[in-house]
Amino acid sequence: MPSSYDRLAELVDPASTVLLTVECQQGVLGPDSALPELAHEARASGALANIARLVAAAHDTGVQVIHAIAERRPDGRGANHNARLFRAAERLPVQQLSGTAAVRVAPPIEVAEEDLVVRRLHGLSPIQGTDVDPLLRNLGCRTLVVTGVSANVAIPNAVFDAVNRGYTAVVPADAIAGVPSEYTPAMVRNTLALVATVATTDEVLGCLKRPRRRV
């Protein structure tokens, strides 16, 4: 019987895997974050460093990387106003405005020339209503590795949307972050584990770097 690692390795085949980073932007995870508690948790937990490790490995192994960025126009045109979260975001001292440093991918994550950056002006999900799904289909994606923030909102949205569209979702649990710190493992255990394959960053890295068997 194959081990859980062998099953993971079958899922994380570089030829059909895409790595998605969710809202890993300077205005969210950088030193001048609009959400300092979330930024601190992403750094203190090691999640941001693990995302950077996964992105670097993806670049080395030819796995496509997509960076999903949430932003808004200075005039707010097209943005949602139908939830408390959106209204609170409008009052934050740092705004995720298109074309500003706030919506650039946050270090230490490196963006390669072959990476795709998908920007959205609305909603909660990096997949629903964005270019991500058609890009994944055109790339021949079967497995989507989901990383980033937040475990409270955007990450579960991404996982549910991926599964609903027929992709297999893999979540490196130590490469996502939310607040408070104890919420993330509880959400992974009680929600994401029901619909996604939960792994660690090291396990996913091992799969990416594992020699493929010749058929």
Mean pLDDT of the chain: 94
Single pTM value for the model? 0.94
Q: Is the pLDDT of residue 1 over 70?
A: no
Q: What is the CA radius of gyration of the chain?
A: 16
Digit-coded pLDDT (tens) for 45-97: 999 999 999 999 999 999 999 999 999 999 999 988 888 888 888 888 889 99
C-alpha closest to that of 172 among 146, 194, 153, 152:
146
- In the chain, the percentage of residues whose pLDDT exceeds 70 is 96
* Tens digits of residue pLDDT in 159-208: 999 999 999 999 999 999 999 999 999 999 999 999 999 999 999 999 99
Which runs of consecutive H residues, i.e. helices, occur in 62-179?
A: 84-89, 132-138, 154-164
Model pLDDT, residue 214: 43
Structure tokens at 32: 């001048």
